[in-house]
């Protein structure tokens, strides 16, 4: 099993920045990829970004490309999501997810999930 704990959410004005963190524990050697997803009220969970644990290749949703950056610290088993130029439409609960076989933009293909952290962007 792998446990994921997110932190760093909060309230920020439009145009501001936040950095989310996700720390993995447990059988982390089984994790090959990690991703961030978000879910706004009344909407489906959507892909935000993903990173391969080995090599560090990154992938982004078009809606966040150029504004968000995903990175990792292997020594700390931690993945970060740096969010800049935030917009009100970025408001959502952000979830960290881990996958034992690479990365994917599809939430159903992830094996482990964190509890989520709320990000609210005011206009």
Give the whole-angstrom CA distance, residue 58 versus residue 75: 18
pLDDT digits (tens, 9 = 90+) for 30-88: 888 999 999 999 999 999 999 998 888 999 999 999 999 999 998 999 999 999 999 99
pLDDT digits (tens, 9 = 90+) for 85-114: 999 999 999 999 999 988 999 999 999 999
* pLDDT recorded at residue 28: 85
Q: Is the pLDDT of residue 12 over 90?
A: yes
Output the CA angle 49-51-57, nearest 5 degrees: 115
* pLDDT recorded at residue 58: 96
Stretch 15-37: mean pLDDT: 94
């Amino acid at each position: 099993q792998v446990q994921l704990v997110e932190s760093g959410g909060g309230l920020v004005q439009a145009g501001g920045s936040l950095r989310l963190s996700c720390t993995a524990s447990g059988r982390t050697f089984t994790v090959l990829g990690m991703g961030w997803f978000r879910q706004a009220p009344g909407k489906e969970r959507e892909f935000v970004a993903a990173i391969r644990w080995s090599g560090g290749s990154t992938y982004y949703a078009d809606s966040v490309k150029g504004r968000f950056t995903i990175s990792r610290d292997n020594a700390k088993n931690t993945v970060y999501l740096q969010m800049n130029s935030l917009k009100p439409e970025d408001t959502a609960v952000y979830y960290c997810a881990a996958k034992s076989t690479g990365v994917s933009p599809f939430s159903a293909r992830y094996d482990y999930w964190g509890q989520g952290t709320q990000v609210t962007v005011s206009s």
